[in-house]
Structure 1
Amino acid sequence: MKQTKRILHSAKINNNCPECYDTDGLQFTFTQVISENRLYLKMDKKIVEELYCHSCNQQIYPISWTPDIERVYQYHKKKAIPMGLGRNYKTMGYLVLVAVLMIILFGIGAGIFLFLN
């Protein structure tokens, strides 16, 4: 099963980096994982948040966030609206579903025909 990440929201912020204290490099990225196979696409509920500093090239983990960064995070988290949850069937998925339903209906029809004779 192939998994891809889709960016829901990305924002540069002007807070100080907890590692290098630069004010120009921080960026929040909110992503959603999409699993794909031949029959359907499945979107996960979970949104993955990441804070990355482009000045010191490090990911900043929530344990080292300041209260200011936490407030900005809460604001931008509201903007990251996940895509439709559940499964989106592809054409092949619908063909398999129709084929299975036809086999089931044929089996029921054949059973009724044999029962009446």
Structure 2
Amino acid sequence: MITKHVLHTARLNNNCPECYDTSGLEFTFTQQEKHTAFYHKANKQIDEKLYCHTCNNTIYPVNWTEDIERVYQYHKKQAHPKATYLRLKPLAYGLILLGIVAVGAMVYMLITF
């Protein structure tokens, strides 16, 4: 299962390139995280989206002005991603422990017989 976590959201006072309204733009920075029965891990990539609530359009980077680009660079620094290392769940620890016990039992059986 993949979930998205919102890292940072910011409303902008810049003009929308589509409708020229100054109160509708919003940046959203998200990060995907993969969950399985054994582990969960965050993706390195941070997805950013500029959306205008006035004209209900997604504004793509091709249409950004220099002002929007500067504000984007500032807010991108504010989005702190989650750690991307692999975090094991209790089921994974149980299987690892079971494997160690099984190997130990096999070694004990080989030594005693």
> TM-score, normalised to structure 1's length?
0.90
Aligned to 1:56: 55
Q: Which amino acid aligns with 1:68?
A: D
Aligned to 1:21: 20
Contact 1:31 1:47 in 2 (8 A): yes
Structure 2: distance between partners of 1:101 and 1:15: 59
Aligned pairs for 1:75-86 within 5 A: 75-86=74-85
Aligned to 1:72: 71
Aligned to 2:29: 30
Structure 1: distance between partners of 2:74 and 2:90: 39
Aligned to 2:2: 3
Runs of 4+ in structure 1 deviating by more than 4 angstroms, as ranges, are: none
> TM-score, normalised to structure 2's length?
0.93
Shift of 1:87: 1.4
Mean Cα displacement is larger for which, 45-54 or 82-91?
82-91
Shift of 1:101: 1.9
Aligned to 2:103: 104
Matched positions, count: 113
Shift of 1:94: 1.1
User: Counterpart of 1:86 in 2: which secondary structure?
Assistant: coil
Contact 1:44 1:86 in 2 (8 A): no
- Identity over aligned pairs, percent: 48
Shift of 1:91: 1.2
Shift of 1:102: 1.8
CA RMSD, 1 decimal: 1.2
